[in-house]
Amino acid sequence: MTETALLQPRRRSRQIQVGSVAVGGDAPISVQSMTNTDTCDVEATLGQIRALAAAGADLVRISVPTLEAAEAFARIRAESPLPLISDIHFDHRIALRVLELGVDCLRINPGNIGREDRVRDVVESARDHGVPIRIGVNAGSLEKEIQRRYGEPSATAMVESALRHIEILDRLNFPDFKVSLKASSIAMTVVAYRLLARQIEQPLHLGITEAGGLRSGSVKSAIGIGLLLAEGIGDTLRVSLAADPVQEVKVGFDILKGLQLRSRGINFIACPTCSRQKFDVITTVNTLEERLDSVAKPLDVAIIGCVVNGPGEAKEAALGIAGGEPNLLYRHGEVVTKVENRDLLTVLESAIRQELEREEESAR
Ligand code: SF4
């Protein structure tokens, strides 16, 4: 099996535009997160958006639960470095207000708005402002009638719910939407996306909802989102963690990096360590990860503890250190210098920074 056979060809979805970011079609799979500050606290929310932007987020979603929050949302958007999605439940007046004040995408389920004339007003306003809609189905909040009929949440129940909302947009001839189908169960989520992916052409927003804390939630998200991405399904993603939203963005990129679908920042290839290690691999990797956290340019760096796997891995990466007597620093497959343990961190960090600069210069 070849490496590329792992990934099935990407499902061709209809591209939509969320502000400056294209979602679907052949656009890069975007990474998004959601603020957890009080939306009415404009400064705190903007601070979090900036932190998310620094971590590489493409899009940010913000809850807009009240008309007061809609006014705050407008002030936030005026200064936001990233396109913003407003998350609205039920209240069409809030949707109309954010559309009037400026928004890049509306997350609202048309079937939950209520009266037909209200749904039409929101959809017409979204059309007039060139704003797409995200339909977000969640296994925990399916319509009562669907819940009654299915007894408990299931992939087919979620798809039925999504199709109801989609039908409303179809009737109003509004094709600029994307859909998410989230459950905290990996199996239910994956099956639901597979079913819907065959029935519509719109982009799909992936996520495992309420996945858990940083470690367990990242693992669940990586399995669920990773399975779908490997099948070519998915145009944008959010990793939902009970953790700092910045971590959601980092894990999102790690999933995309792991599947070689997008690259960002330093990709450390490090051995798990054992008694053969000739230097402290774990401290070296953790310290460099922290020091180079803000680097956005992709670069492969191998940090391997001994000669068992060291030279092989170090030669494959742009830069690599192989533990030994002496430790050897490789650059593009060639040994460039010997490094003493006490100098290892300093030498590696400056070699990485120089390499990034060199690459930047040659790209000019
Ligand atoms: Fe141990 Fe060497 Fe393998 Fe690292 S590369 S885990 S130090 S044998």
Q: Could you tell me the distance, in angstroms and rounded to a whole number, from the CA of residue 247 to the centre of ligand 1? A: 29
pLDDT at residue 115 tops 90: no
Strand ranges in 67-119 using DSSP code E only, listed in sequence order: 84-87, 105-107
Tokens of 210: 């309420």
Query: Considering the chain, what percentage of its residues have pLDDT values greater than 90?
Result: 90
User: Cβ(304) to ligand 1 under 6 A?
Assistant: yes
Q: How far is the CA of 152 from the centre of ligand 1 (A)?
A: 49
What is the residue whose two structure tokens read 């061709």? 12
Q: Is the pLDDT of residue 203 over 70?
A: yes
What are the start-end ranges of the H helices in 172-301? 186-197, 214-230, 245-258, 281-291
Q: What is the mean pLDDT of residues 9-35?
A: 97
The pairing of beta strand 266-270 with beta strand 299-304: parallel
Which CATH class, in words, describes the domain spanning 10-258?
Answer: alpha beta
Ordered by start, the domain boundaries in the chain are 10-258, 266-363
Measured in Å, residue 343 CA sits from the centre of ligand 1 at 20
Residue 1, pLDDT > 60, answer no
305 lines ligand 1 (CB under 6 A): yes
Cis peptide preceding 326, ω within 30 of 0: yes
HSE-CB for 300 with a 13 A CA cutoff:
16
What are the angstrom distances between the C-alpha of 31 and each of 21, 206, 226, 252? 11, 10, 13, 6
How far away, in angstroms, is 54 Cα from ligand 1 center? 34
**Radius of gyration (C-alpha) of the chain in whole angstroms:** 23
Which residue has the CA at smallest separation from atom 6 of ligand 1? 273
Q: For the segment 301-327, what is each residue's pLDDT rounded down to a tens digit? A: 999 999 988 889 999 999 999 999 999
pLDDT at 228 over 70: yes
Tell me if 271 CB under 6 Å of ligand 1.
yes
Supply the pLDDT for residue 3. 58
Write down the pTM of the prediction: 0.92
Residue 360 — pLDDT band, cuts 50, 70, 90?
confident
Q: Is 274 touching ligand 1 by the criterion CB < 6 Å?
A: yes
Per-residue pLDDT band for 4 (boundaries 50, 70, 90) equals low
Q: Is 306 in the pocket of ligand 1 (CB under 6 A)?
A: yes
The atom number, within ligand 1, closest to the CA of 273 reads: 6
Summarize the confidence of residues 69-93 as an average pLDDT. 96
- Looking at residue 362, its pLDDT comes to 86
Q: How many CB atoms lie within 10 A of CB 37?
A: 18
**Whether 286 contacts 253, CB under 8 Å:** no
Give pLDDT, residue 258.
92
Which run of H or of E encompasses 167?
A: helix 155-171
Q: Is 345 exposed, middle or buried (0-12, 13-18, 19+ CB in 10 A)?
A: middle
How many angstroms is it from 320 CA to the middle of ligand 1? 14
Closest of 9, 2, 56, 1 to residue 261, by C-alpha: 9
CB atoms inside a 10 Å sphere around CB 77: 21
Residue 270 pLDDT exceeds 80 = yes
DSSP state string for 199-226 = T--S-BEE--TT--SHHHHHHHHHHHHH
CA 24 to the chain's CA centroid: 14
Q: How many CB atoms lie within 10 A of CB 180?
A: 24
Q: Reply yes or no on whether the pLDDT at 2 is more than 70.
A: no
Q: What pLDDT is attached to residue 321?
A: 96
Ligand 1 within 6 A of 272 CB? Answer: yes
Is-contact 233 194, C-beta < 8 A?
Answer: yes
Instruction: Report the pLDDT value the prediction gives residue 211, as an integer from 0 to 100.
Output: 81
CA–CA dist 74, 68 (Å, integer)? 10
Burial zone of 199 (CB within 10 Å; 0-12 exposed, 13-18 middle, 19+ buried):
exposed
pLDDT digit string (tens) for 151-183? 999 999 999 999 999 999 999 999 999 999 999
Q: What is the DSSP letter of 16?
A: E
Paired tokens of 156? 């087919």
Q: Which strand (E) or helix (H) includes residue 160?
A: helix 155-171
> For a pLDDT cut of 70, what percent of the chain falls above it?
99
Q: Binning pLDDT at 50, 70 and 90, where does residue 227 land?
A: very high
Q: Over the stretch 232-247, which tens digit does the pLDDT of each residue have?
A: 999 999 999 999 999 9
pLDDT at residue 188 tops 80? yes
**Mean pLDDT computed over 7-34:** 97
Predicted confidence band of residue 210 (pLDDT cuts 50, 70, 90): confident
Q: Is 301 left (phi over 0), alpha (psi -120 to 50) or beta?
A: beta
C-alpha to C-alpha distance for 192 and 11, rounded to whole angstroms: 15
What's the CATH number for 266-363?
3.30.413.10
Kindly state the tokens that stand for 262.
Answer: 């997008």
- 8 A C-beta contact, residue 237 and residue 205: yes
pLDDT at 297 over 60: yes
